[in-house]
Amino acid sequence: MKNYYRLMLGKGSMYAQECFKGDFVGTDFDIVQDLTNKLPDEWHAFNKEFRPVFLTANPGKTMQAAGLACGA
């Protein structure tokens, strides 16, 4: 079975091995800071903190778009 999540780990999955070996994920949702210890069990807390960060990087987006992006 193909591992589709590897497609997000850089062009041609170029960072896949580094992520797997380092036990971390790589993403790009216009949030550039380290999210270590910032992923609570309750998604509302994450959205409350990071929707403004997303909107600063994407001023033309709506709060709903920011919420969806943070949910991803």
Per the CB < 8 A criterion, the answer to whether 71 and 43 are in contact is yes
* Residue span of the structural domain in which 59 resides: 33-72
Is the same domain home to 46 and 26? no
Number of helices (H) and strands (E) in the chain: give both, helices first. Answer: 3, 0
- pLDDT tens digits for 6-23? 446 777 778 888 888 888
CA distance 18 to 8: 13
Is the same domain home to 43 and 71? yes
Q: Which residue spans within 1-72 are E strands per DSSP?
A: none
| pTM of the predicted protein model | 0.61
- pLDDT tens digits for 34-70? 888 888 888 899 999 999 999 998 999 999 999 988 8
Is the same domain home to 26 and 37? no
